[in-house]
Amino acid sequence: MPILCTTGCNRKAFLKRPKTGNTLCRECFFLGFETEIHNTIEQNKLFHRGNVVAIAASGGKDSTVLAHVLKILNERYEYGLKLVLLSIDEGITGYRDDSLETVKRNRDDYGMELKILSYEELYGWTMDKIVSKIGRSNNCTFCGVFRRQALDRGARLLEVDCVATGHNADDIAETVLMNILRGDTARLRRCCDIKTGGNDADSIPRVKPLKYAYEKEIVMYAHFKKLAYFSTECVFAPNAYRGHARAFLKDLEKVRPSAIMDIIHSGEQLSFKDTVKKPSRGKCNRCGFVSSQQPCKACVLLEGLNRGLPKLGVGKKSKANRMIAAQDSLRQSANLVKTDF
């Protein structure tokens, strides 16, 4: 006997939702998935009528589903938004160049304006060049820092009201675990926030409409909707620290499917003693973008690359200061020797 959809529509069920365990037909799954994202947007007041929203588009499943669903919801519920696509080209041969072709296809399919910014034009470096200098042990540090600032730069160029990213429930749960393991209380405080930034006039907020969407369901939605997305993993990703947190989370999910949401809710409820030092977010005195240190991490990393000290921004600030002092001392000595002849 066929299993029927639990919504009572009398259609045959074709899947069991990983998130709820309900058996649903194709149509009810699509509607339920989209409605949950709509409720997340409405309950958290992520957008306002007339907003220009930049969707951070990588060509992967998350950003593709985000663009598709926001277009549907914007028309269905008359949000009154202008949606544009913002992509960052990190300069990773065989990965980003291929995924950008998918982004361009999304641009044509959804009729959205597309802006592509590259690391090379922003910083004078590509990730391929950076990895040739730093190796594969800390490359994700450079890419993550530069990418976050590149999105801010792109948002400012496009004059948007906010940036929507494709972070899903799995991503956020992984980040909570990573910050706990590293003892990073500063990031642990804000990694569960569905909206970050936008506290001053020059800061453009970021929102996460897919915060409560499971990765498995995003993949299922993209697959059964036959959306065009790029599924190849970054060639530098296998060495990332996040991979260990992801593997641990997947093991937890096998034993307890609700583990992902449990971790997110735990992160949302965490509180810290008043004695815990809170970093103050301001503006970098060099580049003018949001930072909790002077100069910002992006400027420190870029300075290290340009100085020939690629590990300058990796690790503690005191170590970086010693590296700069040592190099300046060598240069001064070299200049003294040169003037003696």
pLDDT tens digits, one per residue of 61-107: 999 999 999 999 999 999 999 999 999 999 999 889 889 999 999 99
Which of 27, 21, 22, 30 has the alpha carbon at shortest distance from 9? 27
- For residue 295, is the peptide bond before it cis, meaning its omega torsion is within 30 degrees of 0? yes
Q: What percent of the chain has pLDDT over 70?
A: 91
pLDDT in tens, 218-267: 999 999 999 999 988 888 877 678 888 999 999 999 999 899 999 999 99
286 and 179 inside one domain: no
Residue range(s) defining the domain that contains residue 301: 279-330
Which positions make up the binding site for ATP?
56-58, 62, 88, 166, 171
Instruction: Say if residue 201 is in the same domain as residue 115.
Output: yes
Q: What is the pLDDT of residues 312-325, one digit of tens each?
A: 877 655 455 555 55
Does the residue 90 lie in any domain?
A: yes
239 lies in the same domain as 306 = no
Does any domain span residue 28?
no
> What is the spatial distance between Cα 52 and Cα 315, in angstroms, rounded to a whole number?
37
User: Do 136 and 79 have their domain in common?
Assistant: yes
Q: Which CATH number fits the domain that encloses residue 238?
A: 3.40.50.620
297 shares a domain with 153 = no
Task: Please indicate, yes or no, whether residues 285 and 260 belong to a single structural domain of this protein.
Answer: no
Query: Is 174 a domain residue?
Result: yes
Q: Is residue 323 part of a domain?
A: yes
Binding site membership: which residues? 56-58, 62, 88, 166, 171
Task: Measure the CA–CA gap between 313 and 299, rounded to whole angstroms.
Answer: 9
Q: Does residue 289 belong to any structural domain of this protein?
A: yes
pTM of the model: 0.89
Contact present, 14 and 6 (Cβ < 8 Å)? no
Percent of the chain clearing pLDDT 90 (strictly above): 64
